[in-house]
Amino acid sequence: MAKMNFGGVIEEVMTREEFPLEKAREVLKDETIAVIGYGVQGPGQACNLRDNGFNVIVGQRQGKTFDKAVGDGWVPGETLFSIEEAAQKGTIVMCLLSDAAVMSVWPTLKQYLTPGKALYFSHGFAITWNDRTGCIPPKDIDVIMVAPKGSGTSLRTMFLEGRGLNSSYAVYQDYTGRALERTLALGIGIGSGYLFETTFQREATSDLTGERGSLMGAIQGLLLAQYEVLRENGHTPSEAFNETVEELTQSLMPLFAQKGMDWMYANCSTTAQRGALDWMGPFHDAIKPVVEKLYASVKSGHEAQISIDSNSKPDYRVGLEKELAALRESEMWRTAAVVRQLRPENN
């Protein structure tokens, strides 16, 4: 493990120097890795493991997603099976289904989790709130997690570019005494940049908070609020969108992603610097109580229950599509479609 100083706090992380790919292959040389589910995380993790030389099979129900797996080179009857057959064949069962699907498939999946196998997740949801999900694993298996900090698409794209997406890892249950080395080997195998330790509970609460907060929910709310104020004060859609979203995503985000917020500030005008420094405090003070309320709702299991209840409705997909359509058809995001077309690379 490498000791790293994160803003004055020392953490241990695992890099590909400490745990090289060759070691990961040695650890998993006798394992059959069954990737269950080929939706969001499945393709990236399965293909990266395959390309890195591991023994991988995929379990997926018939349908469009099954056909996608075939298109990615998985061969029915050889490396592509039903969920049940893949789970039976796998010594490591990578459960990469959606949270809702995990609950529905669990009674079937559980019967194939025989002694000594490893059950792998990329999200702590099902285990953290298993009093609500019903996903209580047998005591005679390893239960482990590697959670890439990004989408499965990003994991695959960065792998193909020779880069790695950072991941957290956790061991919930170590039956074999090999749970940790299995976890780290899988983390390296799927193409992680570096691995940092967490727990299932911490990963689940931070993940749900992030999705509802700065990563998705809060960012949409903030952008829309600014866009609306500009529009209400006579600014055109193009001007409001460029000043709210386009400059953020196309110009400023790459700057602070590269070297930090202070570096981004230093590379903006003195007028922008002064205004940002003056207003970051009021925004922080207004937003922190909302984040505290959000975190409490996540930690209590309330947010998990909302997800479980909504995903269980028979017309869930119909309602979801209506909400997403309303977002897509809003003036701000219809303006976005036009602005994207006008970018130089599209002309």
Active-site residues, by number, are 123
**CB–CB of 40/152 below 8 Å?**
yes
Residue 305 to residue 296: CA distance in whole angstroms: 13
**CB–CB of 185/24 below 8 Å?**
yes
**CB–CB of 208/40 below 8 Å?**
no
CA quadruple 273, 277, 279, 285: dihedral sign: positive
Short-list 111, 158, 101, CA closest to 133? 101
φ, ψ of residue 246 in degrees (nearest 5): -60, -45
Residue keyed to tokens 């298109």: 71
Residue 320 to residue 111: CA distance in whole angstroms: 32
Residue 30 to residue 178: CA distance in whole angstroms: 13
**CB–CB of 30/178 below 8 Å?**
no
Through-space distance between the first and last CA atoms of the chain, rounded to whole angstroms: 48
Both structure tokens of 123: 């999200």
Residue 229 to residue 202: CA distance in whole angstroms: 37
Residue 286 to residue 268: CA distance in whole angstroms: 25
DSSP state of 76: B
Residue type, 279: W
